[in-house]
Structures are given as structure tokens and as C-alpha cells.
Amino acid sequence: ETGVTQTPRHLVMGMTNKKSLKCEQHLGHNAMYWYKQSAKKPLELMFVYNFKEQTENNSVPSRFSPECPNSSHLFLHLHTLQPEDSALYLCASSQAGLAATGELFFGEGSRLTVL
């Protein structure tokens, strides 16, 4: 396995459901990210973890709850979502630190539809 893998690739859920998105990186990176990609909008940074510690929460509603048990795994727990939360959720990783360029390596995303 190489790169950044995300599961599931597609998810349909009702507003009262609870589901989770999973991300795993095999690149030895120490920073992981969740981004939201909606049509005709820029990629929106949601959460950042450096060395398993959350360093950024970009004013994300509490119905999105991230979890980073180790530097290779990242989860996004979803509950009581709204239809406007339907989007592509992208996970990314990078090598954090002053010497690094900060290049992001993305997974293929989880396409979420909230009914």
C-alpha cells in the first residue's frame, strides 16, 4: 500500500445517522488534514493534526468530530449532518516542519451525500 487511502469512497446518510470517514497514510508523514471540497468553491481546510495533536479547527461545526489515534490514521466522525454538508471530503498528509515545503499528498476523497 502506498500513498493516502480513504474509505468509504461514497457514503449516503440521513440527517439522523452517525457514520465515520477513515484515512490512512503510508508515507511516514507527521501531519494530517481534512479538507472539504464543494462545487465551485475553494478547498476548505477543516482540521489539522501535527504529531497526533490537533493544531487547527477552522470553525467547523461540532457535528464533525475528528480523531487521530496515531500519525498514520485519521477519522472524521459525522452525526446529525445537514444536506449542505454534502461534498467531497479529502484527507491529506504532509511532512511538517520548517525544512519541509509543505507539499500535501491527497487521498481520493469520500463523496458524502446527506439526504
Which residue, 43 or 79, has its beta carbon nearer to other proteins? 43
Q: Indicate which single residue of 7, 8, 54, 56 sits in contact with other proteins (rule: CB under 8 A).
A: 56
Q: Is 104 in the site for other proteins (CB under 8 A)?
A: yes
Q: Site size for other proteins, by CB under 8 A?
A: 18
Q: Is 66 in the site for other proteins (CB under 8 A)?
A: no
Q: Indicate which single residue of 23, 32, 48, 112 sits in contact with other proteins (rule: CB under 8 A).
A: 48
Compute the least distance from the CB of residue 23 to other proteins, in Å: 11
Is the Cβ–Cβ distance between 77 and 18 less than 8 Å?
yes
Compute the least distance from the CB of residue 89 to other proteins, in Å: 12
Q: Is 40 in the site for other proteins (CB under 8 A)?
A: yes
Q: Say how many C-beta atoms besides its own lie within 10 A of residue 32's C-beta.
A: 28
